[in-house]
């Protein structure tokens, strides 16, 4: 129940940020505070970025991507390798679901009870893929798989993840 409460809090926080045109870009265990009842507070917005809200018109979940369209680019050397989404590592334009990848890594750590510590992006992706394939077919594990979808267009967004049968 505590893991579910933490997952719901992280995804609710992400959905709130994304709905308001903010991408956090550094979601990881070190940037999450928990209260005694396991309520979640995201902290450290030093890498956060406002995205062009005009690009959200008509979209139920904003999927703005950085790059030439918004005039904003991301320096991939920032952030923590273990939690960077594959598209960020590949230096491709990325969107709000890159935060959802990071939430997926945090939830994977929560599910397995182990922190994934690596120094290089390639190592992180291989380790995440290895651990992900060993997950059981259970609702919480399936939620984590959806957040850790390598293809950002297939990856669960925060609001979509909140509709998981886990909650």
Alpha carbon 140 to its chain's center? 15
Lowest-pLDDT range of 1-10, 28-37, 66-75? 66-75
DSSP label at residue 55: G
Who contacts 125 (Cβ-Cβ below 8 Å, separation ≥6)? 86, 89
Q: What is the pLDDT of residue 59?
A: 44
Q: What is the 3-state secondary structure (H, E, C) of 18-34?
A: HHCCEECCCCCHHHEEE
Residues labelled catalytic: 26
Alpha carbon of 159 to those of 13, 19, 56, 101: distances in Å? 10, 9, 15, 13
Q: Quick check: 6 and 110 in contact, CB under 8 A?
A: yes
- How far apart are the C-alpha atoms of 32 and 38, rounded to whole Å? 11
- Is residue 76's pLDDT more than 80? no
Spatial CA neighbour of 152 closest among 99, 98, 102, 103: 98
Looking at every residue in the chain, the average pLDDT score rounds to 86
- How far apart are the C-alpha atoms of 63 and 82, rounded to whole Å? 23
Higher pLDDT, 67 or 12: 12
Q: What is the 3-state secondary structure (H, E, C) of 125-141?
A: HHHHHHHHHCCCCCHHH
The tokens of 11 are what?
Answer: 């995804």
């Amino acid at each position: 129940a505590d893991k579910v409460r933490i997952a719901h809090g992280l995804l609710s926080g992400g959905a709130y940020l994304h709905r308001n045109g903010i991408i956090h870009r550094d979601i990881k265990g070190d940037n999450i505070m928990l209260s005694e009842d396991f309520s979640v507070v995201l902290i450290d917005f030093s890498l956060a970025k406002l995205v062009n809200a005009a690009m959200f018109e008509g979209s139920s979940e904003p999927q703005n991507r950085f790059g030439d369209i918004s005039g904003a680019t991301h320096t991939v050397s920032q952030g923590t390798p273990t939690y960077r989404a594959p598209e960020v590592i590949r230096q491709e334009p990325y969107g709000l679901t890159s935060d959802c990848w990071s939430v997926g890594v945090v939830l994977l750590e929560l599910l397995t009870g182990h922190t994934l510590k690596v120094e290089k992006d390639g190592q992180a992706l291989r380790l995440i893929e290895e651990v992900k394939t060993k997950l059981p077919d259970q609702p919480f594990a399936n939620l984590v798989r959806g957040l850790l979808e390598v293809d950002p267009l297939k990856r669960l967004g925060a609001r979509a993840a909140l509709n998981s049968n886990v909650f």
